[in-house]
A and B are shown apart, each in its own frame.
Chain A
């Protein structure tokens, strides 16, 4: 057992952190969020640094996702590499560095999407909602019902009959969009016999990366709070010298470290070849639950420690908090992950504890 990053992994992480620190100083994060939350200029830099390299391992992708969360990088990387690439790969497509996204969620107000075949061509009609990075994507993967069940389609963007409607969101740096399809041409990517499985795999792949992103968000919030606690003087001392403040941040750090361990482990298992599917699934659930807790907690602790400053629009912490809240809600609810774990833990009488190694 050797649960430590290799030198190469450390280098990759450090290089990514340097690039993002250069591209996203705090003022720019706030400025982007105040505008439309989209930054097309950074994408070529990510491409050049290899963020879309099809050979990246899962641990490497997890480290990039951590740095993305730390910097709050306003790029469509997660939608592209996290969500869409696993589907393109399963469909036998070449992975290109074009920004992509996946549209599979129903509109909360109701209405799904279906596809019909007319004269040898598929046409999609209906709605998909909560689609991330839709305004940046040049191509979409769309889940649509067919007579034989759910299938996955490739749709260009823009395309005839496709309307992309940005939806106002809590986290302005990862906006949502409602997509309206009206006889929109699509190309079958994954047929109904395996579409459900492939989509679930892609969501898990993306979800594990979000657990890593959550770790990055928590780390940044703790860093902002830590710095403030060292600088801000009240009653003649830096507030970090008061135990009420210091101990809160120590607890935040504990939660962050536990989540880091579980996120890295989930990545390693997802990329390893000697794993049981159940082990990977449970590690994923554990990482997501712990990551969400760490991100929300670190941001809320940081909001308390930064006091009146943290309560203002100008102090940038709330942008990380908004991301933490997005992470806490996106896709499968925490209760669903806990239910998955409980099903496993409480199925049958337990054997005495044994490590998996």
Chain B
């Protein structure tokens, strides 16, 4: 057990921190899509854990953890290609043909190809296996028709990793196939989804008779569920560390709000601040434990579900507490509101935290069944 960086890790962290301090301000809220990914790539910070044979640096997962933590703490823009680098790329490394690896991996690393993910559908949310988007065999490959929702970056993406039903009449986990869809293909329409906050972080993708060549099938036809699960497992890899570090940034902002409002001596405020800090520390150090397990076994265990689950609870608790601190002024949401309405926005946005990326109900089910060994609840 060692709760400090090794000299090599410390040097990597220090170098990254200095680089972020210099480059983050230039890229925040600006730049062309993919600009941040290109800057990261030029500095050698993409594909940290990818095998060297695929253009990565072949570093242990710990380094991806350091990258995730430092980027979030520096409030670096979330790279427009976060899905390509974090999820699709590793899936192509595991399941792609040599031709696909040659065609996609380097452009993903360099930011040339921005990826989105087409999994969820209006009738396939938590029950992802209920996917209805269908792909029909054609002479040259497949023709796809259907609708995908909650797709981040789809409006900026060049490619989409799509889960479609290729076997007519199949149900649930069988008969599904993963396809790499060129977003510029005829028949692809991207429409923004407007959230309760008023923002549009996600999109709807409507596919009408979209042609997909045969060489864009990822993994075997009919094995799409297994491939998609690989992709989602990669999502859980260091995501908990990113979320926890973002929570740490919000916590520091909360401390500033407490000072700004003159509440630093209020006993009830002090107790809740300390309680939130304990939860944050629990998440942070549990994240380090899951990283150590990942480094040993090569894949995140179902235990990593607890990070996302408890992060959402704590982020919601923090947002609710922060807004309450504002008192009657909490009703304002505009130029006159405290911190430019940050806490009003977070209060609204945080309610989706326990839905996105696996609802809390699904995560509790995973823990109950796969960690605690309880009988299936459905």
Is the CB of B26 closer than 8 A to any CB of chain A? no
The answer to whether B368 touches A268 (Cβ under 8 A) is no
CA of A6 to CA of B249 in the docked complex: distance in angstroms? 32
Contact A240:B368 (CB < 8 A) given known A247-B361, A346-B255, A355-B69: yes
The answer to whether A230 touches B374 (Cβ under 8 A) is yes
CA of A260 to CA of B1 in the docked complex: distance in angstroms? 14
Is the CB of B283 closer than 8 A to any CB of chain A? yes
Contacts of B273 in A (CB 8 A): 342, 345-346
Is the CB of B365 closer than 8 A to any CB of chain A? yes
Contacts of A265 in B (CB 8 A): 3, 285
Is the CB of B289 closer than 8 A to any CB of chain A? yes
The answer to whether A350 touches B255 (Cβ under 8 A) is yes
The answer to whether B374 touches A355 (Cβ under 8 A) is no
Q: Which residue in B5, B264, B281, B364 is a CB contact (below 8 Å) of A1?
A: B5
Contact A342:B270 (CB < 8 A) given known A4-B296, A258-B279: yes
Minimal beta-carbon separation of A162 from chain B (angstroms): 41
Is the CB of A262 closer than 8 A to any CB of chain B? yes
The answer to whether B368 touches A247 (Cβ under 8 A) is yes
Contacts of A272 in B (CB 8 A): 3-4
Q: How large is the interface on B (under 10, 10 to 19, 20 to 34, 35 or more residues)?
A: 35 or more
Is the CB of A314 closer than 8 A to any CB of chain B? no
The answer to whether A3 touches B285 (Cβ under 8 A) is yes
Is the CB of A164 closer than 8 A to any CB of chain B? no
The answer to whether B73 touches A257 (Cβ under 8 A) is no
Minimal beta-carbon separation of A195 from chain B (angstroms): 29
Is the CB of B271 closer than 8 A to any CB of chain A? yes
| Cβ proximity bits A75-88 to B, threshold 8 Å, 1 near / 0 not | 00000000000000
Q: Find the B residue at minimum CB distance from A258.
A: B282
Is the CB of A352 closer than 8 A to any CB of chain B? yes
Interface centre among B2, B245, B281 (most CB of A within 10 A): B281
Minimal beta-carbon separation of A47 from chain B (angstroms): 26
Contacts of B245 in A (CB 8 A): 353, 355
The answer to whether B367 touches A253 (Cβ under 8 A) is yes
Q: Find the A residue at minimum CB distance from B5.
A: A357
The answer to whether A230 touches B375 (Cβ under 8 A) is yes
Is the CB of B32 closer than 8 A to any CB of chain A? no
The answer to whether A1 touches B271 (Cβ under 8 A) is no
Q: Find the A residue at minimum CB distance from B295.
A: A2
Q: Which residue in B252, B283, B365 is a CB contact (below 8 Å) of A243?
A: B365
The answer to whether B252 touches A350 (Cβ under 8 A) is yes
| Cβ proximity bits A1-22 to B, threshold 8 Å, 1 near / 0 not | 1111110010000000000000
Is the CB of A237 closer than 8 A to any CB of chain B? yes
Q: Report A's interface with B, CB cutoff 8 A.
A: 1-6, 9, 59, 222, 226, 229-230, 237-238, 240-243, 245-247, 249-251, 253-254, 257-262, 264-265, 268-269, 272, 274, 286, 289-290, 335, 337-339, 341-342, 345-346, 349-355, 357
21 A-B residue pairings within 8 Å (CB atoms): A1-B2, A1-B3, A1-B9, A3-B288, A243-B364, A246-B374, A246-B377, A250-B363, A250-B365, A251-B364, A259-B282, A268-B3, A341-B278, A342-B271, A345-B255, A349-B256, A349-B259, A350-B255, A353-B248, A353-B251, A355-B245
Q: Report B's interface with A, CB cutoff 8 A.
A: 1-6, 9-10, 13, 62, 65, 69, 73, 245, 248-249, 251-252, 255-256, 258-259, 264, 270-271, 273-275, 277-279, 281-286, 288-289, 291-293, 295-296, 303, 306, 309-310, 361, 363-365, 367-369, 371-377
By Cβ-Cβ distance, the 4 closest A-B pairs, closest first, are A258-B282, A246-B368, A342-B270, A240-B374
